[in-house]
């Protein structure tokens, strides 16, 4: 291929990578926006913690409903059309959650939003996988770094909006408008990835058996463990620091902020790490660092060491999900369905992880309950060869 054509192709891929990163960032920002105004939503609907907790299960269930079929949609129509079909309505739907009149309607709205969000998640990872494979670079960590950065930005903007007493409907309407504009602009840079061969059978056991190979199942288990480890920090780290380290609420919140920033930073530098250690080497190292981080967080004397453990915990888990998405995207035959299946298994960890740790914490305390993460870290190390790069 002539040098000029190579440069043109690389520029095209670079623009596609930028567009993919923007779509990831908007997804993270939208989630951060919603979470940042949860207290105001709870107060407006006069919901108890238990009632709100039940309602917050709805988006996870909605995501699990939509994810398995998203792979077929990406194969049939391409990831650009699929992202457009789900991301743009998802941005608009967040406004609807700010004006629902009751907790029951909020749960319904969250279920629909979760369906849109889950399909958006799968389809943007399909595009990310296509771009990095054509570029021959491990770019997936940077996309997920953009998601993390978007989440931090959305939460920070939400905090400022709450401090300035901006009404939630106005805040969410502005966020929806910005999200629609950014996603629509980014989609112009997407590369075609629709499969042009004969359509695979859908809905038949034999068809799915070609997707759920032992390798894909192992990748799914890695994803389940990684998402559970990450979710444990989101749900329990601040409570652990407050209840068992006596940090106070402000310093407890700082603990999770440290985790979020460290995870974003780790993902931004993840590409050279993966290219140097290999994808499986980076995942295995991540499992070891997770174990070290949890150990320092739980057993290290003093709050500064707990924060150091939090940083290690975040750096260990930061590349697990991106590596799993890249590996699933290399599955022969139906990579889009493999990405959908692995994503769905990961989201199952969001639903099952927090209650399991909560039940353990009721009996032994949060700190000891977090030690179950050692088992998950060991499983990540054991299954790491499944994500080895395949040509």
Q: Domains, the chain, ranges and CATH? A: 1-193 (1.20.1250.20), 205-391 (1.20.1250.20)
The span from the CA of 52 to the CA of 73, in Å, is: 33
Q: What pLDDT shows up at residue 263?
A: 93
CA 124 – CA 186 distance, rounded (Å): 11
329: its two tokens: 């995207």
Q: For residues 193 and 291, give the distance between their C-alpha atoms in angstroms, rounded to a whole number.
A: 38
Which pLDDT score, from 0 to 100, does residue 1 have?
Answer: 52
CA 380 to chain centre: 17
Q: Tell me what pLDDT residue 327 has.
A: 94
Nearest to residue 298, comparing CAs of 235, 368, 232? 368
Please report the pLDDT score of residue 121 as a whole number: 95
CA gap 85, 82 in Å, rounded: 5
Counting beta carbons within 10 angstroms of the beta carbon of residue 201, is it exposed (0 to 12), middle (13 to 18) or buried (19 or more)? Answer: exposed
CA distance 306 to 329: 36
CA-nearest of 49, 43, 122, 45 to 87 is 122
Give the pLDDT of residue 205: 46
Distances (CA, A) of 130 to 83, 195, 213, 215, 331: 14, 11, 21, 19, 12
Please give the pLDDT value at position 15.
93
Among 148, 141, 194, 197, which residue's Cα sits nearest to residue 327? 141
| Contact between residue 78 and residue 343 where contact means Cβ atoms under 8 Å apart | no
Judged on CB neighbours under 10 Å (0-12, 13-18, 19+), 166 is middle
Which of 304, 319, 52, 80 is closest to 190 using CA atoms?
80
Q: Using a CB cutoff of 8 Å and minimum separation of 24, what contacts does 360-368 make?
A: 361/236, 365/244, 366/236, 366/239, 366/240, 366/243, 366/244, 367/240, 367/244, 367/298, 368/298
The pLDDT assigned to 53 comes to 77
pLDDT value at position 196?
A: 55
Q: Are 56 and 323 in contact (CB under 8 A)?
A: no
Question: Which pLDDT score is estimated for 373?
Answer: 95
Successive 10-residue mean pLDDT values, the chain, 391 residues: 56 93 96 86 84 84 93 93 97 94 94 96 95 89 94 89 91 96 97 65 53 89 94 85 81 83 94 92 97 95 92 96 94 87 88 84 89 96 91 57
């Amino acid at each position: 291929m002539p040098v000029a054509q190579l440069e043109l192709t690389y520029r095209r891929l670079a623009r596609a990578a930028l567009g993919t990163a923007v779509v990831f960032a908007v997804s993270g920002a939208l989630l951060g926006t919603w979470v940042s105004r949860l207290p105001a939503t709870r107060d407006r609907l006069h919901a108890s913690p238990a009632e709100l907790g039940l309602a917050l299960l709805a988006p996870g269930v909605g995501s699990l409903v939509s994810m398995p079929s998203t792979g077929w949609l990406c194969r049939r129509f391409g990831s650009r059309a699929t992202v457009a079909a789900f991301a743009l309505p998802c941005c608009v739907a967040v406004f609807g959650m700010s004006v629902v009149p009751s907790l029951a309607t909020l749960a319904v709205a969250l279920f629909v939003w979760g369906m849109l969000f889950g399909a958006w998640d799968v389809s943007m990872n399909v595009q990310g996988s296509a771009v990095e494979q054509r570029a021959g670079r491990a770019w997936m960590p940077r996309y997920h770094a953009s998601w993390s950065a978007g989440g931090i930005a959305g939460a920070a903007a939400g905090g400022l909006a709450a401090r300035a007493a901006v009404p939630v409907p106005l805040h969410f309407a502005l966020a929806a408008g910005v999200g629609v504009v950014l996603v629509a602009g980014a989609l112009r840079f997407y590369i075609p990835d629709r499969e042009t061969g004969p359509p695979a059978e859908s809905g038949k056991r034999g068809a799915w058996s070609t997707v759920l190979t032992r390798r894909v199942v192992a990748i799914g288990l890695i994803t389940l463990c990684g998402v559970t480890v990450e979710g444990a920090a989101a749900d329990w780290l601040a409570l652990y620091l407050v209840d068992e380290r006596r940090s106070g609420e402000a310093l407890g919140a700082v603990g999770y902020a440290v985790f979020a920033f460290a995870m974003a930073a780790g993902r931004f530098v993840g590409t050279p790490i993966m290219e140097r250690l290999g994808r499986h080497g980076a995942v295995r190292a991540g499992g070891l660092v997770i174990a070290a981080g949890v150990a320092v967080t739980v057993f290290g004397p003093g709050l500064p060491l707990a924060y150091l453990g939090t940083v290690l915990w975040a750096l260990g888990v930061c590349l697990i999900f991106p590596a799993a998405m890249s590996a699933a995207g290399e599955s022969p035959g139906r990579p889009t369905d493999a990405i959908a299946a692995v994503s769905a298994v990961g989201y199952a960890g969001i639903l099952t992880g927090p209650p399991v740790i909560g039940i353990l914490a009721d009996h032994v305390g949060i700190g000891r309950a977090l030690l179950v993460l050692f088992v998950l870290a060991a499983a990540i190390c054991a299954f790491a060869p499944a994500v080895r790069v395949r040509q």
